Amino acid sequence: MVKQLCILGSTGSIGTQTLDVARAHPDRYGVYALCAHRSIDKLVAQAQEFRPAVVCIADEGLYEELNRRIEAISPDIKVWAGSDAIAQVVAMPSVDVVVAAMVGYAGLRPTIEAIKAGKTIALANKETLVVAGEIICELAARYHTPILPVDSEHSAIFQSLVGEDRNEIEKILLTASGGPFRTFSPEQMRSVTAAEALKHPNWDMGAKITIDSASMMNKGFEVIEAKWLFGVEVEKIQVLVHPQSIVHSAVQFADGAIKAQLGAPDMRLPIQYALSFPERLASDFPRADLLALKNLTFEEPDLNRFPNLGLAYEATHRGGNMPCVLNAANEVANLAFREGRCGFLQMSEIIAETMAKTSFIAKPTYEEYVATDAEARRIAAEFI
């Protein structure tokens, strides 16, 4: 049976690599809907190639132009715009799998709608679980919706857990490349530019997540993501800096056995596995040649140089809406850094200050998360 995909964030890094997988397996995957934020040229080119039933653009100001250009390709393709439209696309009856690859907080609402509609979720948007993991997990349980991780580390953990049923997890070993500033002194880190931070040593990703990787906020988010996906307390999640990015993460069981997934750093593998699970499909992705690897090393992360990781642990210990505050402040700081409006180390200061000043809510509703996000963004902006 051909699985019909709805791809949220189709023009981004995960979206385009999801289309690589779909292109290689047309007998298995159909592209039903493509949703993008505002990259209209890429979206039109994708529609030309894949002929989806629906294309959707978040930026409503681009509707007229998109509609005109899609009409020229095929009058059969529906053209929608705006966040309400995206929330509806995910629930369309023909959609089997929603690939949630939008950037940041914007991914939360459509993911909730997709879960309620019982669609299988291939989750790349980690901010969704960071902001509202409790709500997401409750809804997924209530609607019996599978959430399959796309993030490479979480895919590795998920793959290590296949066949383990209810065997107890003693520890999750979450690996981190350490990013481009792994060996930098605090003095060097003070003056790094966005262009330097955007040069990730191993992974080719979008701009926002590449900056999050350089500051290790990405790893902090992944700790929170792992907590919700695998139901493990954060005390049992250990971050290991592994600069070679070959061991994508591991699980240690009650008998002391450690299972890991290894491979070349290529996001198409975890994307394809999320789509094909429990099967494995043949691929021509690059292979990790263990003989060619001189060494695989592991070291403890330095929380003094990468305070974001500590802030993420603190946010999850405090619980409630604090991870939502962490995320909102980080989105504001990350953008400010990319636009040259704040320094690299200043990002952590903005996030810590925002966490100290935003009102705490122990058990937030969805509406309270929305309000928290807005309040934290406003407070964070005042520090820039």
List contacts with Mg ion (CB under 5 A). Answer: 151-153
| DSSP H or E stretch at residue 240 | strand 237-241
Closest alpha carbon to 172 in 273, 258, 269: 258
Peptide bond into 278 cis (omega under 30): yes
Residue closer to Mg ion by CB (options 155, 372) is 155
Query: Which has the closest alpha carbon to 159: 29, 286, 249?
Result: 249
Closest contact distance (angstroms) between CB of 155 and Mg ion is: 9
Residue 318: how many other CB atoms lie within 10 Å: 15
Supply the minimum distance, in Å, between the C-beta of residue 81 and Mg ion. Answer: 30
Which of residues 239 and 380 has its CB atom nearest to Mg ion in the complex? 239
| Least CB distance to Mg ion at residue 248 (A) | 8
Strand order across the beta sheet in which 237-241 lies:
237-241, 169-176, 247-253, 258-262
* Cβ nearer to Mg ion, comparing 14 with 135: 14
Nearest distance from C-beta of residue 156 to Mg ion, angstroms: 9
- The smaller minimum CB distance to Mg ion, of residues 212 and 375, is found at 212
Nearest approach in angstroms of CB 153 to Mg ion is: 5
Using alpha carbons only, what angle is made at residue 372 by residues 371 and 375, rounded to the nearest 5 degrees? 85
Least Cβ distance, residue 151 to Mg ion (angstroms): 4
Q: Which is nearer to Mg ion, 30 or 270 (CB)?
A: 270
Q: Which single residue brings its beta carbon nearest to Mg ion?
A: 151
Give the separation between CA 329 and CA 339, rounded to whole angstroms: 15
CB closer to Mg ion, 113 vs 212:
212
Where on the phi/psi map is residue 153: left (φ > 0), alpha (ψ -120 to 50), or beta? alpha
CB nearer Mg ion, residue 62 or residue 150: 150
* Closer CB to Mg ion, 12 or 364, in the complex: 12
Tokens matching residue 105: 């907080």
Q: What are phi and psi of 299, to 5 degrees?
A: -145, 160
Cβ-count burial of 345 within 10 angstroms (0-12 exposed, 13-18 middle, 19+ buried)?
middle
Query: CA 166 to CA 230: how far, in whole Å?
Result: 11
CB atoms within 10 A of CB 220: 31
Smallest distance, Å, CB 200 to Mg ion? 11
Q: Which amino acid is at 367?
A: E
The token duo for 317 is: 């210990």
Residue 203 CB, shortest distance to Mg ion, in Å, is 8
* CA separation for the pair 176, 183 (Å, rounded): 14
